Chains A and B, each alone.
Chain A
Amino acid sequence: MVKILKFLAYTLFFILALMYFMPKKNVYYLLEKELQANNIVISHEEVVDTGLSLKLNHLDIYMESIESAHVASVDISLFGLYNAVNMKDIKLTSVASSILPVKINDVSIRYSILNPLNVTLNAVGGFGSVSGYANVLDRNMTLILKPSKIMKRKYRSTLNGLRKKSNGEYEYVQNF
């Protein structure tokens, strides 16, 4: 029993040490290259290695070379068993204002070994709140939107594109 505990403790220490020494900035640069292949570019960001996680400040996201969003900060924590990406203060481009309110306060994406088949997503913004998950096995994503008053009043055409549920929420399902 003591040996097993020792083994687990050393393994944990190994993982934490590996996390600490891992060149996270360079791993992020590799991720940027992969995203670029899909016409997504993250630009103008300040990358900070905080030891066990990576923090990005003031980044602009370009899709198909079009400025699509500005994000004030992103925290990326990848521990293997528990991984999280938190984004704060997102402002979408003004072009998107015809579809939904451009201000998003908070987005969090989590993957935990306790729920191995699903990546969960939660977001709060001018549109209301969204919670959902992406099933990695079925390769589909389900989002549930609780619309804000402004969303109901000004963005009715967007809501019409979603499936309305009996409790007033709206559902969006997409395969990937």
Chain B
Amino acid sequence: MFKISNSSIISIVVKLLIILAITKAISLAVWWYLPDEGIEIQEDTNFNPAYQRVDFKNMLRAKPVKNSSQTTVKQGNSTNITNMLLKGLYGNKSTGFVIVALKSNRKKTSIIAVGEIYSGYKLKSILSDGAIFTKAGKEFLLKIILPKTGHNIRSSITPVEDSSAPRSVARQDIKYYEKNPDQIWKDISIMELKNGNKLSGFKVTNVRRGSKMDRLGLKRGDVIIRANNVALTSYKSAFDLYKNINKLTTIEIVVMRNNEEKELVYEIH
């Protein structure tokens, strides 16, 4: 009579089951000591530079605003928002002020704080590139007007003699460098500058004469230390600016030149 308990198949199956049990026990023991979650990068998707250029000359020329009890500045109520110009802004969503003028009299500017009324429109909040006004329960967005260069449009980067004045940069030039990144390194040479083990900025080692980069005002020996109020102490901060350059309308670069900080401002059109 054939006894199944004596069968070699049962023996093999039992041995295999024992192996399975041992391997499962080992894997459970390993699992106990291993991490349950992976690493995910925390991306800063909203690269919004804390910088907005304000035309201080207009501020100085403007008549001082009287602090009335109603904290309003009135210039009549018949003005349409399309007749208004936003010439400068400073602050964030709930605090700060804007500089506005009417198209009919561009030189006559007024400074309006958040909460104040201009031509019947109440300033509700300030954005990075505009301001929101309200009137009769409706919201109106007024975008900032960037100064015109007055030069031939083909001259995409306008050289400015006054180094402190903003320089005009054409967006098409930025797109050109985006499409031809190798051209960047032909026009400019930059190397990292370290203070001990820590990155302290990026040194301009060469600028090709006559190139678009040359017209930006950067000089050999400049050390770029900040861009849009972000300290360039890591490659990440530099690449964040590079990645988000299409979203920017203004770039402010601070360089160390002859042991002095120098600010270079570019307005992108």
| Contact of B26 with A by CB under 8 A | yes
**In contact, A66 and B239 (Cβ under 8 angstroms):** yes
B37 within 8 A of A: yes
- Contact residue among A26, A27, A62, A157 (Cβ-Cβ distance under 8 Å from B41): A62
Residues facing A in B173-188 (CB within 8 A) are: 178, 181-182, 184-185
Q: Does A17 contact B (CB under 8 A)?
A: yes
B234 close to A26 (CB less than 8 A): no
Decide if B38 touches A65 in the complex (CB within 8 Å). Answer: no
A17's partner among B20, B39, B182, B243 (CB-CB below 8 A) is B20
A21–B22 alpha-carbon span in the complex (Å): 10
**B77 touches A (CB below 8 Å):** no
A13 beta carbon closer than 8 Å to chain B: yes
- Please give the distance in Å from A95's CB to the nearest CB on chain B: 7
- In the complex with contacts A13-B16, A18-B27, A22-B27, A65-B236 CB distance below 8 A: yes
Question: What total of chain B residues lie within 8 Å of the partner, measured CB to CB?
Answer: 30
Report whether B27 and A64 are in contact in the complex, using a CB–CB cutoff of 8 Å. no
With an 8 A cutoff between CB atoms, is A172 at the interface?
A: no
Residues of chain B within 8 A of A21, CB atoms compared: 23-24, 26-27
Q: Does B34 contact A (CB under 8 A)?
A: yes
Q: In the complex, A30 Cα to B35 Cα: how many Å? A: 6
**Chain B residues within an 8 Å CB radius of A32:** 38-39
A47 interface hit (Cβ, 8 Å): yes
Sorting the interface of chain A by its residue count into under 10, 10 to 19, 20 to 34 or 35 or more gives 35 or more
Instruction: Take A14-B19, A18-B27 as given contacts and tell me if A43 and B34 are in contact as well, using a CB distance cutoff of 8 Å.
Output: no
When C-beta atoms are compared, the residue in chain A nearest to B24 turns out to be A21
- Decide yes or no whether B40 CB sits under 8 A from chain A: yes
CA distance A22 to B34 in the complex (A): 11
A28 within 8 Å of B (CB atoms): yes
A139 within 8 A of B: no
Known: A13-B19, A21-B27, A23-B27. Contact between A94 and B181, CB under 8 A?
yes
Query: Roughly how many angstroms separate A123 CA and B40 CA in the complex, as a whole number?
Result: 27
Instruction: Give residues of chain B (1-48) contacting chain A, Cβ–Cβ below 8 Å.
Output: 15-16, 19-20, 22-24, 26-27, 30-31, 34-41
Query: Do B34 and A66 touch (CB < 8 A)?
Result: no
Interface bits A141-152 vs B (CB < 8 Å: 1, else 0) = 000000000000
Q: List residues of chain A with CB within 8 A of the CB of B36.
A: 26, 29
Please determine whether B30 and A43 come into contact, CB atoms closer than 8 angstroms.
Answer: no
Taking a contact as CB atoms under 8 Å apart, the answer to whether B234 and A23 are in contact is no
Kindly identify which residue among B27, B39, B236 contacts A36, using a CB–CB cutoff of 8 Å: B39
> Which residues in window 1-52 of A have CB below 8 A to B?
10, 13-14, 17-18, 20-23, 26-30, 32-33, 35-36, 41-45, 47
Are B235 and A66 in contact (CB-based, < 8 A)?
yes
**Cβ-based interface call for A98 (8 A):** yes
Residues 158-185 of chain B, each 1 if its beta carbon lies under 8 Å from chain A, else 0: 0000000000000000000010011011
Distance between Cα atoms of A84 and B19 in the complex (Å): 26
Q: A17-B19, A45-B38, A95-B239 known; 19 other A-B pairs, CB under 8 Å?
A: A17-B24, A18-B27, A21-B24, A22-B27, A23-B30, A28-B38, A29-B36, A29-B39, A42-B38, A47-B38, A60-B41, A62-B41, A64-B234, A66-B235, A67-B239, A95-B181, A95-B242, A97-B181, A154-B182
Residues of A bordering B, CB below 8 Å: 10, 13-14, 17-18, 20-23, 26-30, 32-33, 35-36, 41-45, 47, 60, 62, 64-67, 94-95, 97-98, 154, 157
Identify 6 residue pairs between A and B in the complex whose beta-carbon atoms are under 8 Å apart, listed by A's number.
Answer: A18-B23, A18-B27, A29-B34, A33-B35, A62-B41, A66-B239
Which residues of B are interface residues toward A (Cβ below 8 A)? Answer: 15-16, 19-20, 22-24, 26-27, 30-31, 34-41, 178, 181-182, 184-185, 234-236, 239, 242-243
